Amino acid sequence: PPAPWAAGHRGVDLRASPGAVVRAPASGTVTFAGTVAGRGVLTVTHDDGRRSSFEPVTATTAVGARVAAGDVVGTVDEARAAHCAPATCLHWGVRVGERYVDPLALLDDGPIVLLPFD
């Protein structure tokens, strides 16, 4: 968006199957698991202070739980996954303080390879 307070899309949408597992992209602590605007949201505060938020998610990890990179923290909520209709997707946003940053920066170094979706 043109200004930090303006409406807009902040993050990336990852195609996912309904019920697919959601994994922590980096180690940290689950700091929120609840409903926002009718969708399940889960937030992991990473050890470096960045916060990853995912939606629509059904949390399988409780607030306060420590997670390692790759740990399952939830599943894609098929009842609320219409954001990318007709496909299903998982929205991933990352913040440093109140500023949104590129979520892909949390991924390991290396080439990004696009694979076909079945």
pLDDT tens for each residue of 20-68 = 999 999 999 999 999 988 889 999 999 999 999 999 999 999 999 999 9
1 within a domain of the structure (yes/no): no
Gap between the Cα atoms of 71 and 64, Å rounded: 14
| Mean per-residue pLDDT of the chain | 84
Of residues 16 and 72, the one with the higher pLDDT is: 72
Flag whether 40 is in a domain.
Answer: yes
Examine residue 114 and state whether it is found in any structural domain, yes or no: no
* pLDDT value, residue 118: 54
The count of domains in the chain is 1
Q: Is 12 contained in some domain?
A: no
8 domain-assigned: no
Statement: residue 6 has pLDDT above 80: no
CA distance 101 to 45: 14
Identify the domain containing residue 79 by its residue range.
Answer: 21-101
pLDDT over 60 at 112, yes or no: no
Whether 107 is in a domain gets the answer: no
pLDDT tens string 92-103: 999 999 888 888
pLDDT of amino acid 107: 72
Q: What is the CATH number of the domain that holds 45?
A: 2.70.70.10
Question: Does some domain include residue 7?
Answer: no
Task: Give just the sign of the alpha carbon dihedral 59, 60, 64, 68.
Answer: negative
Q: Answer yes or no: are the C-beta atoms of 20 and 26 closer than 8 Å.
A: no
3-state secondary structure of 78: helix
The answer to whether residue 83 scores a pLDDT higher than 60 is yes
Residue 7 pLDDT: 61
Whether residue 108 lies inside any domain: the answer is no
Query: What pLDDT, on a 0 to 100 scale, did the predictor assign at position 51?
Result: 96
pLDDT band at 113 (very low <50, low <70, confident <90, very high): low
